[in-house]
Structure 1
Amino acid sequence: MSQIILLNKPFGVLSQFTGEAGQRTLADFGLPPGVYAAGRLDADSEGLLLLTDDGGLQHRLADPRHKEKKTYLVQVEREPDDAALAALRGPLDLGDFVTRPCEARRIAEPDWLWPRDPPVRFRKQVPTAWLEVRLTEGKNRQVRRMTAKVGFPTLRLVRSAIGPWQLTDLTPGQWRAETVQALAFPGQNGDSARQSRSRPRR
């Protein structure tokens, strides 16, 4: 059995265990020894980050060829119309690569989200909107680049799910550990492969 950690990564934290003086890293959250991030989440993004002690599982979780869908809640400047959403769904040419088609839709502001620390900087005369974006890629700053490309800069980005794993009730900085069968994913092959182990506090 392999161990997988679900962490709600706060804003401003690097998705690694080391950093420059004054930078917050994964070492600040009392995670078990021997786990490594499966993929990454930019320091200025928040939400679900998976870590594991299994190298094969780490590779599979981070590899876009396995098409684990990632769900992002995105606050953007101004209010995208149907044409902008259609463009966002792609394929979208970002210059150095063309995105795969994805899902994108308008949603109401999530009522369960925590206040960001520090708060998002708004322009008082400019409205904002929330989107739900689901994609199987995860290139550097991809969602931010996508929304900027269609004319609606991202103000806040929260990853709420990776495949079957979700933030649920984890608060920023909180994590929980589960066990999974090596290279097996919950909900695949009819196999309920995970067992909750703990919900450590911050």
Structure 2
Amino acid sequence: MRINKLLSNYGFCSRSETNKIIEEGRIQVNGKLAIKGQWVEKEDYILIDDDPLLPKDKIYIALNKPVGITCTAAKEVEGNIIRFMNYEEYIFPIGRLDKASEGLILMTNDGDLANKILESENNHEKEYIVTVDRPFDDAFIKGMSEGVEISGARTRPCIVSRISEDTFRIILTQGLNKQIRKMTKTFGYNVISLQRIRIINIKIQGIDTGKWRNLTEEELVELRSK
């Protein structure tokens, strides 16, 4: 695999940060300075700042993201999720939850698990509670559940149920950019609040806004089996 992927899988840093470290001449592979995009094997002798590269312990966190935080590891982005958490080890968000939304986001340093979760063909469920700007009728529920044309593509059928006259629950198996907001806009509604409450088997219950917890071993076993 490329050295960028190896460092990410080992939980050392992101793929983009690997390029910066290489440019600074801090990585050696079998006694020679590494180059960008270099192919490596796990058996290669890799040094970073003259210390052997070893896999770090894996980290799995469920965060209740507040409104106003951006799900990116890019340090130059104001209000990014990494700066918000100020976690002592390298972690990154699995997927995204837009800045105006709140709720569950998974954080990890496990690139393999992140890629598995993000593969849309796996049909992994994500559940949301959404409030719109005015009451809706049953035709709205039916139309949302059958799929909507947005950004030149039709969304997958999904599960939608009413909570109140202006609030609904929706379970998606895909993650198009601002999908729910665009879907509701198609029917003439604007989202007032959007909270993600579940990703696959991980639930937000018990996590206060802005707080986080480590996933349990039982949760991880089920997450990996999906």
| TM bin (shorter chain) | 0.7 to 0.9
Aligned-partner Cα distance in 1 for 2:73–2:224? 30
Aligned-partner Cα distance in 1 for 2:82–2:160? 30
Q: Secondary structure at the match of 2:147?
A: coil
The structure showing larger relative contact order (alpha-carbon pairs under 8 Å, at least 6 residues apart) is 1
Q: 1:62 to 1:32 in 2, by over 3 A?
A: farther
Contact kept in structure 1, 2:101 and 2:195, CA below 8 Å: yes
Matching of residues 19-34 of structure 1 within 5 Å? 19-20=75-76, 22-34=78-90
Identity percentage of aligned residues: 30
* TM-score between both structures, scaled by the size of structure 2: 0.68
Aligned to 1:18: 74
Deviation sequence 1:146-169 (CA, Å, 0-9, x none): 111122211111000001101011
> Is 1:70 matched with 2:106?
no
Q: Which of 137, 140, 143 does residue 87 from structure 1 map onto?
A: 143
> Is 1:139 matched with 2:176?
yes
Aligned-partner Cα distance in 1 for 2:202–2:81? 22
Matching of residues 34-113 of structure 1 within 5 Å? 34-108=90-164
Larger radius of gyration: 2
Please list every run of 5 or more consecutive structure 2 residues that lacks an aligned counterpart in the other structure: 1-56
Q: Which of 206, 211, 214 does residue 169 from structure 1 map onto?
A: 206
Contact kept in structure 2, 1:18 and 1:27, CA below 8 Å: no
Q: Secondary structure at the match of 2:192?
A: strand
The CA deviation at 1:173 is 1.1
Q: 1:18 to 1:187 in 2, by over 3 A?
A: closer
Deviation sequence 1:86-123 (CA, Å, 0-9, x none): 11112211142100000111104xxxxxxxxxxxxxxx
Amino acid at match of 2:200: G
* TM-score between both structures, scaled by the size of structure 1: 0.75
Aligned to 2:13: none
Amino acid at match of 1:6: A
Aligned-partner Cα distance in 1 for 2:206–2:127? 16
Aligned-partner Cα distance in 1 for 2:205–2:214? 13
Q: Secondary structure at the match of 1:133?
A: strand
Aligned-partner Cα distance in 2 for 1:67–1:17? 25
The CA deviation at 1:185 is 3.0
Q: 1:93 to 1:168 in 2, by over 3 A?
A: same
Q: Which of 41, 59, 64 does residue 8 from structure 1 map onto?
A: 64
Q: How many residue pairs get matched?
A: 169
